[in-house]
Amino acid sequence: GPGGLYFTVGDGGSADDHVFSLHTMPSGDLLVCGRTLSAPFAAIPYPVTANAYQPGHNGGPNGSDCHVTILDGACANVRYATYLGGTGDEWIECGGVDAAGVATFHGASSSMDFPVTGTACQPTSAGGTNATLWGSYEGIVLRLDPGRPPAQQLLYAEGRHAVLVVL
């Protein structure tokens, strides 16, 4: 009935996987994103698709990479799934999806080699000095278009300490 549980879905592999945000896409599909520690060597790896931007896990000392997954509207099939990250640790949340299905994300990365685009305001890490339990993190902002071929999916990405980006 109204207000009841409509469905549940497992999204991830056999290690710790976290969903930080969900968005309904213009197509009716569900975009799920967060962080995953399910590397390819996990008992059950994170399930990437053939059209993934980054098919391999690069996670650092804590083993985390971002994950982006698109499920069909019934949440019965994975349409798209990719890792995203450098050799440090990352996490992301989805800030929104535009009418064309391009998603904007924000989060944090400890990677000095987080993938960036040539249009980034700051194309290299500033080498953050905020020491946390897991090291130093910088803010990341990116746009991803899963409808493009893998090498063209990352439309904009950068990492920096203070981020104010209007896309």
Q: Helix count (H) and strand count (E) of the chain?
A: 0, 10
Mean predicted lDDT score pLDDT of the chain: 75
The pLDDT value recorded for residue 8 is: 42
Backbone angles phi, psi at 152, to 5 degrees: -110, 5
- pLDDT value at residue 9: 46
65 and 40 Cβ atoms separated by less than 8 Å: no
> What pLDDT sits at residue 42?
60
pLDDT in tens, 92-112: 888 889 999 999 988 888 887
At position 40, the amino acid (one-letter code) is P
Q: In the chain, what percentage of residues exceed pLDDT 70?
A: 68
What is the rounded average pLDDT of the residues 137-155?
A: 88
In this prediction, residue 145 carries a pLDDT of 93
What are the pLDDT digits (tens) for 113-127? 888 787 777 666 565
DSSP letters, 111-126, are -TT----TT-SS-S--
